[in-house]
Amino acid sequence: MSTTEKTRKFLIATHGKLAGGVKSSLDIITGAADNVFLIEAYVDESRSVEDDIKAVIAQLTENDELIAFTDLLGGSITNQILQHASQKNVHVVSGFNLALVIEILLADTDAPAEEVIAEAIENAKQQMVYVNTLLAAQNTEEDHD
């Protein structure tokens, strides 16, 4: 790998064990990846969220970019990661779902992160559906046939 080639890394940081569950699902769907970091905040009182974030940031080189997924906009995890978002190679996405994470993880690393994230957010919004409404519409349509 040349020294100018970018490496995209990912952080899933959540309150509690949600991050581990998302990583477990990712491993099943996309295969295990060594470029995904986890922070399960407030599970172990001896661990500091800020120290965990700093440990991830410290592993980045100038050729790396980090896309951090957090669970709640305005939550403590997001707020702490935002302290590092002024770095040009750190991107923060809050309020993620599994579809969003998968799309971003599998995206072409040559595509700019900003574009990948924006498109994935739009696509992920389509995955959030009240399925009962769809079923009701389908049943109504079938009744009219």
Confidence check: pLDDT of 125 > 70 = yes
- Residue 62: phi and psi, rounded to 5, are -65, -15
Q: Which amino acid appears at position 90 of this protein?
A: V
If you average pLDDT over residues 1-8, what whole number do you get? 66
- Give me the pLDDT at residue 77, please: 96
Model confidence at 131, pLDDT cuts 50, 70, 90, reads very high
If you average pLDDT over residues 40-52, what whole number do you get? 94
Question: Into how many domains does the chain fold?
Answer: 1
If you average pLDDT over residues 49-67, what whole number do you get? 95
Confidence check: pLDDT of 39 > 70 = yes
If you average pLDDT over residues 62-70, what whole number do you get? 96
Q: How far is CA 140 from CA 35, 51, 103, 137, 144, in A?
A: 47, 55, 33, 5, 6
Per the structure, the complete domain to which residue 140 belongs is given by: 7-144
Confidence check: pLDDT of 1 > 70 = no
Asked, for residue 12, whether it belongs to a domain, the answer is yes
Asked, for residue 69, whether it belongs to a domain, the answer is yes
Asked, for residue 1, whether it belongs to a domain, the answer is no
Q: What single string gives the DSSP state of each residue in 112-143?
A: -HHHHHHHHHHHHHHH---HHHHHHHHHHHHH
> In this structure, what CATH number is given to the domain that contains residue 89?
3.40.50.510
Asked, for residue 115, whether it belongs to a domain, the answer is yes
Confidence check: pLDDT of 3 > 70 = no
pTM of the model: 0.90
